[in-house]
Chains A and B, each alone.
Chain A
């Protein structure tokens, strides 16, 4: 479990090597294993036979994070508090006996794993961009449990600790060194151990600043006016961004502020108290559900068609060297794939490769990518104007303009040069995949792969299964999306697929509110307060009102006589058809776009709307979210989306549905199925039949009871 080895200079190397596991994780077992080890170290120190300790790992990871499955289910406050205090005691035992301890970080150390490193007196890491360190707890609505907020505050000061803790970023070693959370880098494992020893030999005593009389928190405490002022600014920043929706970053700031006025151990206990509150919060459970359980569900391939061997893509062809094409190319290159990027002329294709180069150079300057890796990636990128160069591609993907003729033409050209194993995919958003497949020789080897802007960043891809798409092709698409480390969700070839379709109901609900006398500013402001990153009217303008209307017309065509017109359609038509206000592209929509400055709501809108009515803010926010949730349930019922997990992640990554709700389906669990149905019933009576509950939901209510 923990290998003990002492050298001639009385330096002990402790190597973490958990039994029957591929990585070291933080759990009760590892703490228990440490107890006798720390006891032995203390005795050796007393006898003067210990110079220092190096903590390292026998695995590929240094030490991984805590047990999310446990955190997800635990509810008892005493138990949570005791667990946090237990971990803190272990780390305190490691740092306080006076023996200097170096963390020799030879693999990733994330979350609780990095907390152990922070409890060492010195941190040296291998300079390998594959290694990541950091405290990403905030991403799942949590904070560190081991005292890292207080330790970082003491090491870096409030001003530097705050963005690291609330950002939840994973740092590569170089960036971590600059951020101040690592002390040294080493090029090789050997050098790392040499540097660790050298540090121990010149360090007589391991004593943390907070255990040293007279030492102060860098930059000062919340008692100092400039710091207090900063805290107020941070607080405003968090409140203006998250409102009351995300308690974890709020707790971090609160702990930093309070802890700066407390002695170290009291500050750590305070951290445990906030930690306990967060573990029990709905937000934390919802976020663990989405980012742990749902992500694992997808990553385990639960939605992937069964019975097909794993597809290992090597070379990808991309047609269209615009923003989308270059973004996809970058995502492929960063995951070790070869890319052939084609456009009508090599010159245009070369311009995309310049974009790729620039983005990689940024990554290099941030220490995320090594210069030699950048070079290797660019070598794997081939630009061309000839379809012949697709000859040995496993997959050719188009990202050209949204025009059926053009898309069909580029596919025909590519198809001629592909072997029978390769398949084609389209990034189409509004042209049905089935339609596009009809002009192909092998329509079954064709699917939609719908990326989102910016493709290298958004972690989601919709796999669109056309009527002719084979299960094998779907499986291959799935494996490709996983190979570039994105989340695949499999969707049906209906209008807007899943993401755009559900998002459109959010936009339409915002517009419907206007027609009931809720002012545009109220709709925009309350949508953000409800947790949506973009407000409905601004989003309508960004997409274009023509597209908003088109989706709804496609819905009308789909449902035929059963279709009930959405109340928003009239206003959309009025703006679009009567007034020619198409949206942002034409600099006129719900907003007007002055030459200088930010867009403002179009004053003329008032004349089209009824006079302002009194409103209930909660109703407005509920409606904006409920409209999306119900549409997602319709999508489940109609087979547009396959699983609750893919709906949740699709909603969070695809259009920014609030993560603190756990995604568009988890929203119902969070609300409670029965109260949710009751709310739908109420809204249906008050606001119209679009709030009726789909059959699927009623069935689930009865099965759940």
Chain B
């Protein structure tokens, strides 16, 4: 097996204001195009050195329905030999794209690959902002489907996460994101977006709040008050009958809002990098994916992280920095507790609660944020893990060169 090395990581700024997001004006293909262009320029590539583009896309509809990975490459004119594909593992799509790309490198199929994800939710999903409108009642019944926010409440109830702790986490995510941006920690990876005339559209992440206090969050109504939608609570309890009720933990404040966004990672073999004069920044040490209980839904990050460590022969203590996605505050809180991660080592620069979640790009964004912070602090080993709908989990462990 050849090792896979990360050469570059770029992402678009995020803007979760809806309506009013600056990203609403950009087609998803152009969101992706800006990043492809940046990768090309930053790494001095022609384009045709790339073997494949693996792209997470969670709703391959409308603007995406043409296989947007290949479509973007065609638009860039990178040569007809560069192929592209999209894949979906919900929020874990971006990290799955990375892991699959690394696997292709390892198998000797490819030598230089782009992996990432794109989501232009403001353009495709404004109709049902709830990510799911599944009209197959038989599946809903057999899968004991409950909305994600209720699954997150269920996880919190199951694991003793309180509303206060969840709100506290949101404040922490916000404070960290704010500080990171003020210190310019994102500036090397976030690519400014311009319109077709070169006029600036969005330079940096739009942090969700200007001011935030725990008290301010405490007033928000829960997303799932009891009896919100008759049936879902009972379904949750039918899977976890030892609970008397599902506590309403999450509010819009301690959950991540949706945003548009894209992220790309450039990875390849050491040999190919050397030939192109690319500096390897990290080596992928191990990768994993798993599926856990679909009703409680968000145990996957923890499961996948455990497997990933096992494959590398490491323990949690060996990992110096962690990234875990935070669609709802209970997920990183559970992760922190289950993996025994010191608070300051998890999501040190904030996360989607403060910045917004671009679902299909999430994993690639997390990996980029992990890499930039490890470099800043001079750390050796880091792990990114994503919990996704239906119990899925994906993790990647990297070592800096």
Contact = CB atoms under 8 A, between A and B. Distances in A.
Interface stretch (B40-48, B127-135, B370-378): B127-135
Interface stretch (A249-257, A353-361, A626-634, A690-698): A249-257
A37 interface: no
Contact of A222 (B130, B135, B235, B238): B135
Interface in A515-558: 519-522, 524-526, 528-529
Nearest to A257: B135
A416 B230 CA distance: 55
Interface stretch (A223-231, A265-273, A327-335, A433-441): A223-231
Contacts of A642: none
B233 interface: yes
B141 interface: yes
A236 B133 contact: no
Contact of A525 (B140, B230, B237): B237
Given A253-B137, A254-B137, A239 B235 contact: yes
B233 A235 contact: no
Contacts of B232: 236, 240
Contact of A225 (B128, B138, B242, B243): B128
Contacts of B145: 232, 235-236
A254 B234 contact: no
A600 B226 CA distance: 13
B136 interface: yes
A244 interface: yes
Contact of B137 (A231, A525, A600): A231
Interface residues of A, number: 36
B231 A522 contact: no
Contacts of B210: none
Contact of A240 (B127, B134, B233, B245): B233
Nearest to A243: B238
Contacts of A238: 137, 141, 231
Contacts of A233: 229, 231
A254 B134 CA distance: 12
Interface in B217-243: 229-235, 237-238, 241-243
Contact of A237 (B130, B136, B231, B244): B231
Among A229, A240, A250, A617, the one with the most B-chain Cβ atoms within 10 Å of its Cβ is A240
Contacts, number: 96
B144 interface: yes
Binding site of B, secondary structure by majority: helix, strand, loop or mixed?
Answer: loop
Contact of A239 (B133, B140, B241): B140
Among B130, B134, B136, B137, the one with the most A-chain Cβ atoms within 10 Å of its Cβ is B137
A264 interface: no
Binding site of A, secondary structure by majority: helix, strand, loop or mixed?
Answer: helix
Interface in B146-163: 146
B127 A232 contact: no
Contacts of B140: 232, 235-236, 239
Contact of B235 (A228, A236, A254): A236
B231 A228 contact: no
B244 A600 contact: yes
A234 interface: yes
A296 to B, nearest CB: 33
B144 A254 contact: no
B133 A229 contact: yes
B137 A244 contact: no
Given A240-B231, A244-B141, A232 B238 contact: no
B137 A228 contact: no
A241 interface: yes
A500 interface: no
Contacts of B234: 239-241, 243, 528
Contact of B133 (A232, A519, A528, A600): A232
A234 B141 CA distance: 11
Contacts of A244: 141
A149 to B, nearest CB: 13
A571 interface: no
A612 interface: yes
Given A240-B234, A250-B141, 15 more contacts: A228-B133, A229-B133, A236-B231, A236-B232, A236-B235, A237-B229, A237-B230, A238-B141, A239-B140, A240-B233, A243-B234, A254-B136, A521-B243, A521-B244, A525-B241
Interface of A: 222-223, 225, 227-229, 231-241, 243-244, 250, 253-254, 257, 519-522, 524-526, 528-529, 600-601, 612, 617
